[in-house]
Amino acid sequence: TWTTGSIVEEQVAEIRARVGGRRAICALSGGVDSAVAAALVNRAIGEQLTCVYVDHGLMRTGETEQVEKDFVAATGARLRVVDASERFLGALAGVTDPETKRKIIGREFIRVFEQAQAELIAEAGAAGDDVAFLVQGTLYPDVVESGGGTGTANIKSHHNVGGLPEDIEFELIEPLRKLFKDEVRMVGQELGLPDEIVQRQPFPGPGLGIRIIGEVTRERLDVLRAADAIVREELTAAGLDREIWQCPVVLLADVRSVGVQGDGRTYGHPVVLRPVSSEDAMTADWSRLPYDLLAKISTRITNEVRDVNRVTLDITSKPPGTIEWE
């Protein structure tokens, strides 16, 4: 039998013994797993850990700030935020194909991370230290899935699958590899991480880049961010955050529809709400949100978000639809 307290203690002791006087780095994604892994390693080795967060410009409202403020406030971890939005948006210019977008985002992420890594190694080297460890938030299901060899068809290229290039010589620290998601959340709580981080719903690594159907531009990202913030606010206010697995908001940027707003004709874009219920994201059902809540969301989005004049609801389960549209 184990308790979250004993897991933390055991891992802290083990990590301290392994790392000794050397250094470690950790890529933070904003998600639960990497945050908990980083907090745990930070508890063990403090200043010897540097976390790197790559802001690709495809984040939702408040996301980067949450990592910068809440995570650091809760853990005291040393954090380096790399603003790489220009680079990502440049690489995505003109691209509409979903898989191409995913590959570009994955590739740029690795490049930016490697660059930050090289800088840290150079700085540490100048101080006579060795950066020998890479922290990853690998969970038990990740281990099983990648080692299982079940031959599951690869439907989408997840940005972090395949991971970092093999020629980087790091020892991995994966303190969560025996745990399931709910256990990881408990460990996060034990480490004092706030609910905003620990209870977070899943959000894809490629971010809003795969929720804009069509080319990804700064303007379109702003439109989608505004609509998404309203949806999240209303779902939270309705107390549905735990019940709903996640609710992607998708901007159909290549589609226009006629509307009437104020006293004029508009020709704007539709957004799609994709609320789903799920146990593990392998299968999902569309969530039966209360009509009054849907009405409120629809009114707010069309009133408050420039360029959006229509709100639609996705009532497809997975399969046949995937959760994300791209």
Q: Please report, as ranges, the residues that interact with ligand XMP according to CB under 6 A.
A: 155-156, 158-159, 202, 204-206, 246, 281, 318, 322-324
Judge whether 38 is annotated as a binding position: no
CB of 283 to ligand XMP, least distance (A): 9
Residue 166 Cβ, how far from ligand XMP at the closest point, in Å? 20
Bridge partners, residue 295, by sequence? none
Residue 35 among known ligand-binding residues: yes
- Residue 201 near residue 246, CB atoms below 8 Å: yes
Q: Rounded to 5 degrees, what are φ and ψ at 64?
A: -65, -40
What's the N-to-C CA distance of the chain in angstroms?
A: 42
Q: Decide whether 12 or 273 has the Cβ nearer to ligand XMP.
A: 273
Q: Is 57 a known ligand-binding residue?
A: no
Residue 268 contacts residue 256 (beta carbons within 8 Å): yes
- CB nearer to ligand XMP: give 8 or 38: 38
Closest to 168 (Cα-Cα) out of 205, 127, 131? 131
φ, ψ at 289 (rounded to 5°): -70, 145
Minimum distance, C-beta of residue 262 to ligand XMP, in the bound complex (Å): 35
Whether a cis peptide bond, with omega within 30° of 0, leads into 320 is yes
Element containing residue 71 per DSSP (H, E): none
Report the distance separating Cα 278 and Cα 132, nearest Å. 38
- Specify the residue, 23 or 101, whose C-beta has the smaller distance to ligand XMP: 101
Q: Alpha-carbon dihedral of residues 11, 14, 20, 24, nearest 10 degrees?
A: -40
Nearer to ligand XMP, 188 or 209 (CB): 209
For 39, residues 6+ apart whose C-beta sits below 8 A from its C-beta are 71, 74, 75, 77, 188, 191, 192, 193
Q: Which is nearer to ligand XMP, 8 or 273 (CB)?
A: 273
30 is in an annotated binding site: yes
Closest distance to ligand XMP from the beta carbon of 32 (Å): 11
In 10 A of CB 281, how many CB atoms? 14
Residue 32 is assigned to a ligand binding site = yes
Q: Quote the least distance from Cβ 324 to ligand XMP, whole Å.
A: 3
31 annotated binding-site participant = yes
Q: Is 146 annotated as a binding residue?
A: no
- Least distance from C-beta 152 to ligand XMP, angstroms? 12
- Residue closer to ligand XMP (CB basis): 17 or 153: 153
- Which residues define the annotated binding site for ATP? 29-35
